[in-house]
A and B are shown apart, each in its own frame.
Chain A
Amino acid sequence: MNTLWPVALITFKEGIRNRALYGITLLALLFFIANFLISGMFMQEVGKVAIDIALSAVSLSGLLLVLFVGINLMAKDLDKKTIYMVLSRPISRSQYILGKFLGMALLIITTMVFLSVCAALSIQLIKMVYPNYFPRFSWPMILLALSFNTLSMILLSALAFFFASFTSTSFITLVLTVIVYIIGQSLSDVKALVDAPQTVGIHVSAATVKLVQLAYYLFPNLSVFNLKIQAAHSLFLPASYILWTVTYGLIYTALAITGAAIIFRLREFP
């Protein structure tokens, strides 16, 4: 732990100093302001729309954070060859990866907490303007959606680390992470489609079914962390769902980081 902490701290500080972070935060803040204008256009469920926009803004910012700040943090050491300096110190490669990841997770949590507070503020202000249009509203569900979102971003960032451990440039890591994100978000829907193709009147071959099932276990199912609609309508969510989803998220993250550490250890630097 003593060797992990300095790496984590320096990664966190480096991330906070990144200019892109301010751009991302500014974008989210603009979304929260636009929320006033947009949600006011609706006839009935202003509250639902306000929550939709606020949570989507946080999601989008989290995603940009992982893609443009997170990947840079990992890849910069490799691109700028500063990795040699780090590796010459009494720290193992696994410790280095783990420390970097902890710093990144810390950065994600800090940013998400800040954005969540802004999102909540935006929702609260709209609620004060249109108090009659929030028939189904619950703060705990919104908080849960935001926490799940943070967890999914940590998972995605772990995968970015995994890709960075074997790719040569940060651009390839970025592309792979984006692809995994898209697959991860649509996996549930595609699986549902393949499981019951007759509902939309398409034919699916047996090979496709097997392929989708394989993909279902291989890629992260990111849509299970997406509780925006549940939060917007404060729908019932069983405790077992929360428990199993958190377990799934943590285990997948651990797997990705372990994989990253193993590959990074085997990697040869020119």
Chain B
Amino acid sequence: MGRLLTIILCIALLTVHIISLRKITEQEKLIPKGEDTAYVMPSPILRVTALEFHGLASDFLFLKALVFLGGTYERKENPRVKPWEWKWLYHVLDASASLDPYFLDPYYFGNANLTWDGGLIKETNELLEKGSSYRTWDFMLPFYIGFNSFYFLDDNDTASKFLMEAARRPGASAIYADLATKLAYKDRRTENAITFQEYILEHTDDPKLRTEYETRLTALRGVLYLEKAVVSYKQRFGVYPRSLEDLMKKHIIDALPQEPYGGSYYIDSSGKVTTTSESKLMPYERLNLSPSSEPSSLMKD
């Protein structure tokens, strides 16, 4: 009798245990998480509390950032990651990099995500500069700073400076120095962007990032192709085409290139070739800050 009672008790307890754990897992996702939970301990304190395990703590913080961003892909809301969450992510990566400033992953991951999606260009460049000053053997970090300065900040001087720095480091491609000088030609923006993106793709292993970069490269190549067609239209007829259809009517091109994001290319009010998916080519922040892009994006859709 006593034994039977014990077994029943154990089964009952285990069942309730499993049910309660499942409920908690469900409910925990529903709890609103405010910005105050986004606090990251300042790095001097982290360094002291990590005792002799700086490297391990750095790995742990990086994993935390990785798991967080991975989890956001399940979300359905828009924007997928809130602005303060990007800031938090940046602080976590920064803390990870402070604990072990030689660790490549926070810089690499930060550069891949905080720029295009997060729009935290200046912060990312600061993070990368820190990494670049420690990892003196690594040419990729100054190269990334160069790209970010050129592409997002329109700061060709800084871009050129860091590309030259990248070119000086061991194992760097000779093209970096070449690219640094090419940046002087501002009107070759798309071409330079493609060259940059090709080198970034070459140094990326992550399949998810690779697909993203390849699609972006295809879009940029489409823009370049059309830009060239617009130039030859201007040379032949003395005026700029009013729409891309003009290019086909006058047989400058046979067909419009496929837009990889599912949108379409068009000529905006300032005469620039762009795409309805411009946000994929430009980070969120830049789109909002730049006054010229607003009317054009309104005009088409």
Which residues from B are CB-within-8-Å of A59? 52-53
Interface residues of A in 43-86 (CB under 8 A from B): 43-45, 48-49, 51-53, 55-56, 59-60
B12 CB to nearest chain A CB (Å) = 33
As a 0/1 sequence over residues 177 to 209 of chain A, the CB contacts with chain B under 8 angstroms (1 = contact) are 000011001100110010000001000000000
B105 within 8 A of A: yes
The reply on B56 being an interface residue by CB < 8 A is: yes
Known: A189-B47, A200-B44. A45 touches B105 (CB 8 A): yes
Q: What residues on B are CB-neighbors of A186 within 8 Å?
A: 47-48, 51
User: Could you tell me the dominant secondary structure of chain B's interface residues?
Assistant: helix
B261 within 8 A of A: no
CB-CB < 8 A to B240: which residues of A? none
Check A232 against B55 for contact (C-beta < 8 Å): yes
Does B102 lie within 8 Å of A44, measured CB to CB? no
Q: Complex: how many Å from CA A42 to CA B108?
A: 11
- A55, B66: Cα distance in complex, Å: 23
Contact B54 A190 (CB under 8 A): no
Question: At the interface, yes or no: B104 with Cβ under 8 Å from chain A?
Answer: yes
Known contacts A45-B104, A200-B44, A53 near B56 by CB under 8 Å? yes
Q: Does B265 contact A (CB under 8 A)?
A: no
Which residues of chain B are within 8 angstroms of A51 by Cβ–Cβ distance?
55
Interface string of B148-186 (1 = CB under 8 A from A): 000000000000000000000000000000000000000
How far is the CB of B45 from the nearest CB of chain A, in Å? 9
Q: Kindly identify which residue among A43, A52, A60, A223 contacts B109, using a CB–CB cutoff of 8 Å.
A: A43
Question: Is A105 close to B, CB under 8 A?
Answer: no
A233 proximal to B (CB < 8 A):
yes
- How far is it, in angstroms, between the C-alpha of A226 and the C-alpha of B57 when the chains are bound? 14
The digit string for B91-111, where 1 denotes a CB below 8 A from any CB of A, is 000000000101111001100
Which residues of chain A come closer than 8 Å to B63, judged between CB atoms?
Answer: 38, 41-42
> Quick one: CB contact mask for B43-86 with A, threshold 8 Å, 1 for yes?
01001100111111011001100100000000000000000000
Chain A residues within an 8 Å CB radius of B59: 38, 42, 49, 52-53
| 118-134 of chain A: CB within 8 A of chain B | none
Please, which residues of chain A bring their CB within 8 A of the CB of B295? none
Please give, as numbers and ranges, the residues of chain A lying within 8 Å of B42 by CB-CB distance: 200
Chain B residues in 8 Å Cβ range of A226: 52, 54
Q: Does B35 have its Cβ within 8 Å of any Cβ on chain A?
A: no
- Collect the chain B residues with CB atoms within 8 Å of residue A49's CB: 59
Question: Contacts A52-B56, A189-B44, A200-B42 given: A44-B104 contact, CB under 8 Å?
Answer: yes
Q: Is the CB of B55 within 8 A of A44?
A: no
Q: How far is the CB of A177 from chain B (nearest CB, A)?
A: 14
Chain A residues whose CB sits within 8 angstroms of the CB of B137 once the complex forms: 136
Q: Determine whether A100 belongs to the interface, using a CB cutoff of 8 Å to chain B.
A: no
Given contacts A56-B56, A232-B55, are A43 and B206 in contact (CB under 8 A)?
yes
Instruction: Please indicate the chain A residues that have their CB under 8 angstroms from the CB of B105 in the complex.
Output: 42-45
A56 contacts B104, C-beta separation under 8 Å? no
A27: CB under 8 A from chain B? Answer: no
Task: For the complex, count residues of B whose C-beta is within 8 A of A.
Answer: 25
Give chain A residues whose Cβ lies under 8 Å from the Cβ of B66: 41, 43
Q: Is A33 an interface residue (CB 8 A)?
A: no
**With A and B bound together, what is the CA distance between A56 and B66 in angstroms?**
22
Instruction: Kindly identify which residue among A43, A60, A193, A200 contacts B108, using a CB–CB cutoff of 8 Å.
Output: A43
In the assembled complex, which residues on chain A have CB atoms less than 8 Å from the CB atom of B53? Answer: 56, 59-60, 228
Contacts of A228 in B (CB 8 A): 52-55
Residues of B within 8 A of A189 (CB): 44, 47-48
Tell me the smallest distance from the CB of B63 to a CB of chain A, in Å.
6
- C-alpha gap A22/B280 in the complex (Å): 56
Instruction: Report yes or no: B108 in contact with A229, Cβ–Cβ below 8 A.
Output: no
Q: How far apart are A155's CB and chain B's nearest CB, in angstroms?
A: 13
A233 surroundings in chain B (CB, below 8 A): 102
In the complex, the answer to whether A235 meets B44 with C-beta atoms within 8 Å is no
* In the complex, chain B residues 91-140 whose Cβ is within 8 Å of any chain A Cβ: 100, 102-105, 108-109, 137
B5 to chain A, nearest CB (A): 35
Q: What separation, in Å, do the CA atoms of A228 and B47 have in the docked complex?
A: 14
A222 located at the interface, meaning its Cβ lies under 8 Å from any Cβ of chain B in the complex: yes
Set of chain A residues within 8 Å of B47, measured between Cβ atoms: 186, 189
- Given A43-B206, A53-B59, A200-B42, does the pair A229, B54 have CB atoms closer than 8 Å? yes
Task: Pick the 9 closest A-B CB pairs, nearest first.
Answer: A52-B55, A233-B102, A185-B51, A186-B48, A226-B52, A56-B56, A44-B104, A45-B104, A189-B47
19 A–B contacts from the bound complex (CB under 8 Å):
A41-B63, A42-B105, A43-B66, A43-B109, A43-B205, A44-B104, A48-B100, A48-B104, A51-B55, A55-B55, A56-B56, A136-B137, A182-B51, A186-B47, A200-B44, A223-B52, A229-B54, A229-B55, A232-B100
Residues of B that sit less than 8 Å from A by CB: 42, 44, 47-48, 51-56, 58-59, 62-63, 66, 100, 102-105, 108-109, 137, 205-206
Additional pairs, 20, CB under 8 Å, beyond known A43-B109, A48-B55, A200-B42: A38-B59, A38-B63, A42-B62, A42-B105, A43-B108, A43-B205, A43-B206, A44-B108, A48-B103, A49-B59, A53-B59, A56-B53, A56-B56, A186-B47, A186-B51, A193-B44, A228-B52, A232-B100, A232-B102, A233-B102
